[in-house]
Chain A
Amino acid sequence: MSAAMQHATRAEPDLTPMLDMVFQLITFFMLVINFRAATIDPNIKLPMMGSARPVAANSETDVLVLNMAASGEVNVYGQSQDAEKFLEQEARLSLEKSQKQNPKLQLGDELSTTVVIRADKQTEFTKLNHVLMACQRLGFRKISLKVLDKPLTNQASTL
């Protein structure tokens, strides 16, 4: 047995091409990684509207994404939230940030944050309006209403 071991040739495969390929794959996935996907609730079915403007990259610095189910339940980062309490908390944080530049600002004055609403296509307007009115009262004037500009493919819809 020991003699056989001694005669066995030592296999040393060249790992360099494999490492090159793996690093290329890592680079690809690092470039396409989408951190904003965590803010999106995949259960929400957005309406499809071909003429909506695509979202410009880095167009908005402060964005607050609210997912609204057909029942009117507001979901943020996978957690169900009381829309008014959550918005008030966020408004105060945004206000504190803005007050560094303009100390005279008060709650209810216009904030720089854009509220992005991803509502289910079956959501009633009265539920949406409840959130919109809270936004307006707290100073969130810039609102983005999300839709799909193309139908989802089967693969994407299952993700």
Chain B
Amino acid sequence: MRRRRKRRKLDGIELNLAAMLDMAFQLLMFFILTFNPAQNEAQFAAYIPAAEPVTKPQLTEKNQTESQIQQASHSEIIVTVEGSEAGKIEKLAVGGKVVSDLAKLNSSVHNAICREGDDCEQLTVQVDANLCYEELMQVVDICTQQKLPNGDSLAKLKLVELQTK
């Protein structure tokens, strides 16, 4: 008997949905107007220990200078990127040895890492002050793709500014 009475009472209730619909439309409008799809962004992660200016080395096609040999003898590989006035890559070098283009930079850096063996900890990129970000990222791209002899990815990347004498 109780149940029957309850049912009779509920049958008579009519919810006014118009107010709820108004509110729902307002929320919908807010979300539509603030909708901003995420860009296809990616990133290069770098662990940057310290930055200090270095003297611009004289790059030679044949041999390294003594100072470069000393620098390269540490457990880090030095990649030098010189830029043109327009901010484009003009000259590339790995450990003082000039590399003709970006494709060869990859193999040169790989060889340098293999030579260093397990001592290789970080890669230092000496960058010309006026090199633009787009060109720099091409070099960083190649450097971060490198694998260490133990199979790990190269985690430490140091960016330093080249300063002319």
**Contact size class for B?**
35 or more
The residues of A that contact B45 with a CB separation of less than 8 Å are 53, 142-144
With a cutoff of 8 Å between Cβ atoms, the chain B residues found around residue A132 in the complex are 48, 51, 159
A15 lies within 8 A of B159 (CB): no
The size of the chain A interface, using a CB distance under 8 A, is 53
Contact present for B141 and A52 (CB under 8 Å): yes
Chain A residues near B10: list those with CB within 8 A: none
Assess whether A49 is in contact with B37, with CB atoms less than 8 Å apart: no
Selected A-B contacts with CB under 8 Å, 20 pairs:
A29-B32, A34-B37, A36-B38, A47-B133, A51-B145, A54-B42, A55-B43, A124-B129, A124-B132, A125-B128, A126-B129, A129-B127, A129-B160, A133-B51, A136-B48, A141-B49, A144-B45, A145-B140, A147-B41, A152-B39
Is the pair B42, A26 in contact by a Cβ cutoff of 8 Å?
no
CB atoms of B133 and A142 under 8 A apart: no
Please indicate the chain B residues that have their CB under 8 angstroms from the CB of A142 in the complex: 45-47
Q: Which residues of A contact B24 (CB under 8 A)?
A: 19, 22-23, 26
B133 to nearest A CB, angstroms? 4
What is the CA–CA distance of A136 and B35 in the complex, to the nearest angstrom? 36
Stretch at the interface among A1-9, A79-87, A90-98, A113-121: A113-121
A11 at interface, CB cutoff 8 A: no
Distance between Cα atoms of A147 and B46 in the complex (Å): 13
When each residue 5-48 of chain A gets 1 if its CB lies under 8 Å from chain B and 0 otherwise, what string results?
Answer: 00000000001101100110110011011101100100000110
Q: Contact check: which of A25, A52, A126, A159 meets B44 at CB < 8 Å?
A: A52
Contact present for B21 and A49 (CB under 8 Å): no
A62 cross-chain contacts in B, Cβ below 8 A? none
Instruction: Report A126 CB to chain B, min CB distance, Å.
Output: 4
